[in-house]
Amino acid sequence: MSKRALKILVVDDDEGLREVLDIVLSNAGYNVTTAASVEEAQSLLERELIDVVVTDLYMGRDRKAGLRLLEYLNENQPDTPALMITGHGTIESAVEAMRLGALDYLQKPFKSNEEVLLRVARAVEKRILLRENRAFRLDQSRTAHVNTLVGDSPKFKKMLDMVRRVAGLPSTVAINGESGVGKELVARALHSLSPRAEKPFVAINCGGIPENLLESELFGYKKGAFTGAQQDKEGLFVVADGGTLFLDEIGEMPMALQVKLLRVLDDGSVTPVGGLSSKAVDVRVLSATNRNLAEMVEQGTFRNDLYYRLNVIPITVPPLRERISDIPLLVRYLITRHTKNLICKEKSLSPEALDALTRYAWPGNIREMSNVLERALGLSDHDDIRLEDLPAHIRDLPESHPPQKPIVLDDHIDLESEVAQFEREYIQHALEQCHYSLSKTAQRLGLTPRTLRYRLEKYNLSTE
């Protein structure tokens, strides 16, 4: 994070001291703003994202002005470090300032400008550390049961090669693939292989949060912006500053938020809900979806300009049914991982069970396989996982792929009729594999539910 992206608020009724600190801190590269009173400082804090506050203790005849500002920060912005500066220091006021959350306590006149810069640098370091700790907690809450990238099939190797090639670039990456294929794992790999690896990786599911909450989570909010906003909160763009923000299920983002996201991507600054000023952020944005965004653009449900802004580098994660040779590797990895989580004896997989797992089409991909193996490992009474330990819809499945119709070339081929017949049979087979779930069938075929319903009506296919 550059110093210019860090905003320091200097609060003092002495105009000369404000100007001196403004010059010293600005020359050091910080973005400085000043206030001559507690009231003016509070007004600025309500409108702007401030990283560090440097405040005088006495202002005019108010001998507790600085302490009142600390109380305000403690109540509304507890993560904002403050430095207390005064020429009237006493042990009592120093203790009270520390109790109210002051990070440090300095007397004026200062010994040197370097001393001020050192104390401010420590406050900035604390601010950044708090953000990174929050990002780490968010990350840990999402990664407790995450697989690593496992596979050596041709399609998977090609995808991994693409990840390695683009990881070091600053460009946005759109990760496409069906539900459960491991799109977030790919995003994490892009982050860990990038120059941002030591900075936060923050992920959010755009489809799992209501629109009003999603806006405040992404961009933050100011106190009083809406009912329940009792103190300022930094958004995930600010938390991820210097690192990577992963927007999962981006296709579910409402149009109104798409406009605001596009603005952040274009100018690199974020404005909190209820805020009047923006804050510069340096964030690489990765997005993922199991929906066809190009089709959504045509339907008018996704912004064309945002689509091209996010889709600078597209990466497609192949579904499990297209990397059958990876299944034995994934099975072994998942069994080992679940063994540790369940604290039980590691078990092998019988040939018959492995054959069934290989024949199954896995509409839920790796996530579904992980759940199946966890269940089998926990319930099996044998030293290995056998065919009878698997769910009935997997062990009784005769084949995993739709029947292939032979191509017969003659002089009178009706191509449209042949394609329509193939498409009808393929959709029918997908419906059966997904147990007639419209949402799962649409995901597996890479269609929107609306498009799938249109084709079901077109081919007179039943969903029961």
When pLDDT is averaged across residues 293-322 and rounded to a whole number, the result is 93
Beta strand pairing call for 82-86 and 52-56:
parallel
When pLDDT is averaged across residues 53-69 and rounded to a whole number, the result is 85
For residues 402 and 354, the model is more confident at 354
- In percent, how much of the chain has pLDDT > 70? 89
Class of domain 402-464: mainly alpha
| Res. 264: pLDDT tops 80 | yes
pLDDT for position 306: 96
Q: Give 401's pLDDT tier (boundaries 50, 70, 90).
A: very low
pLDDT for position 79: 82
pLDDT for position 258: 95
- The per-residue b/e assignment along 232-244, b for 16 or more CB within 10 angstroms, e otherwise, is bbbbbbbbbbbbb
pLDDT for position 405: 46
What does the alpha-carbon distance between residue 405 and residue 402 come to, in Å, rounded to a whole number?
Answer: 9
Token pair listed for 409 = 């070339």
Token pair listed for 388 = 């009878």
**Phi then psi dihedrals of residue 374, to 5 deg:** -60, -45
| Res. 272: pLDDT tops 60 | yes
Token pair listed for 440 = 């799962």
Closest CA relative to residue 220, chosen from 231, 204, 230, 234: 234
pLDDT for position 123: 87
- Fold for 146-318, please state it: Rossmann fold (3.40.50)
For residues 105 and 239, the model is more confident at 239
For residues 379 and 144, the model is more confident at 379
Q: Give 148's pLDDT tier (boundaries 50, 70, 90).
A: low
- Global pTM? 0.61
Contact yes or no for 10/18 (Cβ under 8 A): yes
When pLDDT is averaged across residues 213-234 and rounded to a whole number, the result is 87
How many contiguous H segments (helices) and E segments (strands) does the chain have?
19, 16
- Tracing tokens 């079901």 back to the chain, one arrives at 456
Q: Is the peptide bond before 195 cis (omega within 30 degrees of 0)?
A: no
| Res. 143: pLDDT tops 80 | no
Q: Mean pLDDT of all residues in the chain?
A: 84
Q: Give 57's pLDDT tier (boundaries 50, 70, 90).
A: confident
Closest CA relative to residue 113, chosen from 212, 222, 200, 27: 27
pLDDT for position 66: 85
Q: Which range among 186-190, 197-201, 341-345 has the greatest average pLDDT? A: 186-190
- The per-residue b/e assignment along 384-416, b for 16 or more CB within 10 angstroms, e otherwise, is ebbbebbeeebbebeebebeeeeeeeeeeeeee
pLDDT for position 94: 65
- Evaluated on CA atoms 272, 189, 163, 179, the torsion sign reads negative
Asked if 3-128 and 146-318 have one fold, the answer is yes
- The per-residue b/e assignment along 425-455, b for 16 or more CB within 10 angstroms, e otherwise, is eebebbbebbeeeeebbbbbbebbeeebeeb
pLDDT for position 32: 92
| Res. 417: pLDDT tops 80 | no
For residues 444 and 52, the model is more confident at 52
Ranking 140-154, 322-336, 389-403 by mean pLDDT, the lowest is 140-154
pLDDT for position 402: 46
Beta carbons within 8 Å of 450's beta carbon, 6+ residues apart: 299
pLDDT for position 255: 92
Q: In what order do the strands lie in the sheet with 173-176?
A: 201-205, 244-248, 284-289, 173-176, 313-316
Token pair listed for 356 = 């069934």
pLDDT for position 166: 93
Among 2.60.120.10, 3.50.50.60, 3.40.640.10, 1.10.8.60, name the CATH number for the domain at 321-395. 1.10.8.60
Which H or E run includes 165? helix 154-166
| Res. 286: pLDDT tops 60 | yes
Q: Where are the domains of the chain?
A: 3-128, 146-318, 321-395, 402-464
Closest CA relative to residue 289, chosen from 332, 250, 347: 250
| Res. 112: pLDDT tops 60 | yes
| Res. 230: pLDDT tops 70 | yes
Ranking 75-79, 195-199, 399-403 by mean pLDDT, the lowest is 399-403
E-assigned strands of 405-455?
A: none
| Res. 451: pLDDT tops 90 | no
Class of domain 3-128: alpha beta
